[in-house]
Amino acid sequence: MKLKTLIVSSAGAIALAACGSASDAPAETSDAETTSAEAELHPMLAEVAAGTYSLEKNHAFMTVKVGHNGGITQYRISFTDFDGTLDFDPADPESSNLSFSINPMSVETNYPGDYKAGHADSAWESWNEDVSRDAKWLNADEFPEITFVTTAIERTGDLEGTVTGDLTLLGVTKPVSLDVSYGGVANPPWFGERDVIGFTAGTTVLRSEFGMGAYIPNISDEVIVEFTGEFLQDE
Amino acid sequence: MRKLVLAAGLMAATLPAHANPTLEGVASGLYELEKTHAFLTWTVKHNGISGYTVNFTDFDADLVFDAETPANSQLSVSINPGALNTNYPDPAKKVDWETELSTDPRFLNGSEFPAISFNSTSVEQTGEFSGTVTGDLTFLGVTKPVTLDVSYGGVANPPWFGQRDVIGFTASTTVTRSEFGNTSMAGIISDEVVVEFSGEFLQAEE
């Protein structure tokens, strides 16, 4: 956190309330700005510390959506155990670096009721375990980690960009691009001087490219992955 | 920042498309929620910078569907505020946090108001497979009109349901929680709550 954080955050909030959209907020800088580097930054980036941030796991969500029954609706799954590290430079976001690791054993389907009662022949104790461990799904015993490592970042707007990287799923590594929006900085008092920055991200993966072809097209080949969450500046 | 929260809703709209959604041949009549393929989430903006998403895990809905004149359809939904999944990462604290969210008067106050309900009052078809469903939402004992943006996804006939049709929908709306008397942690938790549904309805047996 820098000295002007609260003031600038407040100004940003007012601008957003007036505009109703982060991307519409004008990149205004006050006359009191002294350095050209800061003057060029969007107000929502101007007071953010550069450095390494780690996922603030209590405020982070990773959701996967597939079309079901030929796409008449979406089936929704969450991962509950994942971690990320972000080297963030607010003055040059394209030089940032993001890495993610997801535990495929941590699937949450919110399956209602007694799975075994309706699936007596299943090898698994729960639908969550089936999705995590079955060889036709995430096959977590053989591939205990899903990873994403950044290879390139392109800024497409003041607060938006694409993060391209290598996704490793089921032992197959393929390039994937995430559409990312930066949400701003917060400074909850319990984190002292450390900045908290928020993002949303989304991408669509073709699971067949990673060797998961079960039930296509009844369950869609396209897998929508959505993230929303916060990163906390390392101590 | 409104955009940030709504981004989730916009992405939800871009579901893997059904090849050919159709209303032709779809049975009219009573459908019940197919609970093993139904998802209901609410998302608030947290710290002004990210989305906080919680699943309702116990809810039910009845749909009286008119395939020929969808605007004549009727929807009723009941949600148990005592059944939440926050995906909170620390298992030791997860139950406590979900209980607090469910029952605390600052949040869903489920001890005093054990059901959240929605009953449609009017349906308008706005596109071939889209429409708005307006109804009365009762939350925290307050009843207010709310309008859902709904997309119809098509019909399926899995063999294990015999002749019964399964129809899919996605729906979303934004609720202003202060209108229902909930203003806790304003500034940290947004007043706007994005509610999203995705799921299937199974034709009731005659």
Residue B123 pLDDT greater than 50, yes or no: yes
Rounded Cα distance between A113 and A183, Å, is 37
Q: Which positions in chain A touch B186 (Cβ < 8 Å)?
A: none
Containing structural domain, residue A148: 48-233
A26 and A83 together in one domain: no
A127 and A96 together in one domain: yes
The share of chain B scoring above pLDDT 70, in percent, equals 91
Provide the ipTM: 0.89
A92 and A188 together in one domain: yes
Confidence of residue B63 (pLDDT cuts 50, 70, 90): very high
Cα dist from B102 to B79, B84, B140, B175, B177, whole Å: 12, 7, 11, 18, 15
- The reported pLDDT for the residue numbered A30 is 46
- Residues B130-134, mean pLDDT to the nearest whole number: 98
Q: pLDDT tens, A140-170?
A: 999 999 999 999 999 999 999 999 999 999 9
B11 contacts chain A (CB < 8 A): yes
Q: pLDDT tens, A55-86?
A: 999 999 999 999 999 999 999 999 999 999 99
Q: The domain B2-203: what is its CATH number?
A: 2.40.128.110
Structure tokens at A61: 């969500």
A142 and A60 together in one domain: yes
Rounded Cα distance between B159 and B180, Å, is 44
Q: pLDDT tens, B38-61?
A: 999 999 999 999 999 999 999 999
Residue A160 exposed, middle or buried by CB count within 10 Å (0-12, 13-18, 19+): middle
A68 and A147 together in one domain: yes
Q: pLDDT tens, B86-106?
A: 999 999 999 999 999 999 999
Instruction: State how far residue B191 is from chain A, nearest Cα, in angstroms.
Output: 12
A39 and A81 together in one domain: no
Question: Which of A9, A71, A185 is the closest to B153 by Cβ?
Answer: A71
A3 and A84 together in one domain: no
Question: Which of B15, B36, B154 is the closest to A74 by Cβ?
Answer: B15
Question: Which of A16, A69, A196 is the closest to B47 by Cβ?
Answer: A196
Task: List the single residue in B with minimal CA-CA distance to A187.
Answer: B47
A228 and A157 together in one domain: yes
- If contacts are CB pairs under 8 Å, which of residues 87-106 in chain B contact chain A? 87-90
- The reported pLDDT for the residue numbered B20 is 79
Q: Are strands B50-56 and B29-46 parallel, antiparallel or unpaired?
A: antiparallel
Q: What is the CATH number of the domain that holds A77?
A: 2.40.128.110
SS3 category, B196: strand
Q: Are strands A51-68 and A222-233 parallel, antiparallel or unpaired?
A: antiparallel
Residue B125 pLDDT greater than 80, yes or no: yes
A99 and A125 together in one domain: yes
User: H or E segment at A82?
Assistant: strand A82-88
Q: Which positions in chain B touch A195 (Cβ < 8 Å)?
A: none
Rounded Cα distance between A82 and A149, Å, is 14
A27 and A112 together in one domain: no
pLDDT < 70 stretches in chain A: 1-39
Per the structure, how many domains does chain A have?
A: 2
Burial A38-50 (b: 16+ CB within 10 A, else e): beebbbbbbbbbe
Q: Which positions in chain A touch B88 (Cβ < 8 Å)?
A: 58
B46 contacts chain A (CB < 8 A): yes
A30 and A94 together in one domain: no
Question: Which of B2, B35, B154 is the closest to A112 by Cβ?
Answer: B35
Q: Which positions in chain A touch B55 (Cβ < 8 Å)?
A: 78, 110
Interchain CB distance below 8 Å, B55 and A220 = no
Instruction: State how far residue B154 is from chain A, nearest Cα, in angstroms.
Output: 5
A171 and A188 together in one domain: yes
- The reported pLDDT for the residue numbered B18 is 57
